[in-house]
Amino acid sequence: AQSVTQLGSHVSVSEGALVLLRCNYSSSVPPYLFWYVQYPNQGLQLLLKYTSAATLVKGINGFEAEFKKSETSFHLTKPSAHMSDAAEYFCAVGKAAGNKLTFGGGTRVLVKP
Amino acid sequence: SAVISQKPSRDICQRGTSLTIQCQVDSQVTMMFWYRQQPGQSLTLIATANQGSEATYESGFVIDKFPISRPNLTFSTLTVSNMSPEDSSIYLCSVDVSANTGELFFGEGSRLTVL
């Protein structure tokens, strides 16, 4: 069975500061890993995905994530937070294309001016 | 990518009634997934809907409570039956349109409030 753990249900950062959201997964097979963002009253939007091509994955809006197999982690970072980054972020794991995704508990990001 | 339309976008329902949520995709897809997001919570998979076969339900979800139809490759419905306040959630339809990346595209969701 797959599972995803996101450390910290809430993260508060100052505008311009580093954003770091932590995600650890467990999977019995090489995983497909994703980060999604959910803005208030909206659906989920894909930020980035890891599918075994490169361990450092760049996504939209300046976000990137690094896959570390030895640590079973896929942490999300952005060097400089913007007010528009305030949202909820979900890490998700899948086993294969066409398969369901299992989501972490989510991390709500607050950006302070 | 895919454009996914869900109806209704939101509704207020009375206890004991049922509501059907529609999901329309702008391209043919094999798998459609229905998720629930309870207030302040993450997403939980209800079931996987494959055209031409019965939906596959996750542990804790049953067909009598959440019947699903999948009449063709672009459309699905989820019914929430005999609703109670605990069913107040956002219900999200999602699809996998990529051949090998596994990413899911999501609709905007249907926000249900049960009084």
**pLDDT by residue (tens digit) across B4-53?**
999 999 999 999 999 999 999 999 988 899 999 999 889 999 999 988 88
Chain B positions touching A36 (Cβ under 8 A) are: 106
Cβ within 8 Å, pair B33-A100: yes
Residue of A nearest to B96 (CA): A98
> So what's the pLDDT on residue B100?
67
For A23-73, write each residue's pLDDT tens digit. 999 877 778 899 999 998 888 999 999 877 788 999 999 999 999 989 999
CB neighbour list of residue B96: distance below 8 Å, 6 or more residues apart: A97, A98, A99, B29, B30, B31, B33, B102, B103, B104, B105
pLDDT of residue A27: 79
Q: CA-CA distance, B74 to B60, in Å (whole number)? A: 27
pLDDT higher than threshold 70 for residue A4: yes
pLDDT at A1 exceeding the cut of 90: no
d(C-alpha B70, C-alpha B55), whole Å: 8
Which of the four pLDDT bands, split at 50, 70 and 90, describes residue B71? very high
- pLDDT higher than 90, residue A92: yes
In chain B, the residue whose alpha carbon lies closest to the alpha carbon of A51 is: B101
Give B-chain residues touching A94 at CB under 8 angstroms: 102
* Model confidence at B103: pLDDT above 90: no
Give the per-residue pLDDT at A53: 73
Q: Is the pLDDT of residue A97 over 80?
A: no
Count A/B contacts: CB-CB distance under 8 Å.
Answer: 60
A17, two tokens: 């500061």
Nearest Cα to A33, choosing from B37, B92, B102?
A: B102
Residues of chain A with Cβ-Cβ distance to B92 below 8 Å are: 43-44
- Section A79-87 average pLDDT: 96
* Higher-pLDDT residue of A106, B96: A106
- Are the beta carbons of A98 and B92 separated by less than 8 Å? no
| pLDDT value for B99 | 63
